[in-house]
Amino acid sequence: MPTFGNHPLRLTLPSTASGESVRRYAHEHPEVVDVLDTGRFEHPGESEERDRLRAATHTFFARHLD
């Protein structure tokens, strides 16, 4: 998911662009919202966040590329 603006707020607002697809997907799959907490800068918990992202990516591709 792109990280522009206030992500939690963006997921609550309707859109006519690609953000609408992201919003609908996040509504149907709330677990994706918890994968990334911040944008592209160093922050506390970054290592754990990176591990969660790798695990989520592995799970996604394992499920969809069988």
pLDDT, tens digit, 9 for 90 and up, residues 1-55 = 445 667 778 888 888 888 888 888 888 888 777 665 555 667 788 888 889 889 9
Q: Does some domain include residue 1? A: no
pTM: 0.47
Q: Does some domain include residue 2? A: no
Residue 30 φ then ψ, to 5°: -60, -20
Domain assignment of residue 45, given as a range: 7-64
Distance CA 21, CA 31 (A): 16
Q: How confident is the model at residue 60 (pLDDT cuts 50, 70, 90)?
A: confident
Q: Does some domain include residue 32? A: yes
Q: Does some domain include residue 14? A: yes
Q: What is the pLDDT of residue 8?
A: 77
Q: What is the pLDDT of residue 1?
A: 45
The total number of structural domains in the chain stands at 1
Q: Does some domain include residue 34? A: yes
Distance CA 30, CA 17 (A): 20
Q: What is the pLDDT of residue 43?
A: 73
